[in-house]
Structure 1
């Protein structure tokens, strides 16, 4: 956590931003809940327990800043809200299984899909810069 905070502080400083207590708290929540794909509203509910002085608008602004800086990724699972996950484009790439019943999101990585991407790029002489794969269905608990 401490090295992640130091990295964030350095990144913010290069862009003329400070690591405020609000930003630090939101980053801590994202670190504590890695893999949970929280929405801004989810993060706000957790923030309120720690610091009731932070408003929902501050959470949204912070998430937007973190996204612009590549600290977090915004995810769209065809819902009425965005979800967020910590990480940059340099982290291990993964995909998502989305339960249509309960909304649970399960991360997975598949080497076959990565090989398919490489083959596709080679076959069409195309440089792929990013992709997002989501499968929809029902999780084990909802089947």
Structure 2
């Protein structure tokens, strides 16, 4: 019985010494500086529309159960090109709408060329050409 009490006292003393040694080595309640991230932050601008350059600048870190880098890189490049094409179309439509004598209302403009409407699966509908035909009786 005495050896059990001596053993428990020895364990308590060793535990106390380890605790004191750890607190001396790690600091006395001082806050630790933030650890460096082991990955790059994935951020897009919140104060302006996303551009193709923003998408190209993304760097997604690889994890153990990660992804195929070539597929994600290809997807990001396609997304960047789509965004740039969209921005070019928007700029062209705005420039065309600001021309003098141009009707601002798209509903009254029979010659307006519209992009093809996407189908349910995300591809462009084959039967929709996206243009309005000018009526000959108008």
Scaled by the length of structure 2, the TM-score of the pair is: 0.24
Name whichever structure is richer in strand by fraction. 1
- Structure number with the bigger relative contact order (C-alpha 8 A, sep ≥ 6) is 1
Scaled by the length of structure 1, the TM-score of the pair is: 0.24
Q: Which structure has the greater CA radius of gyration?
A: 2
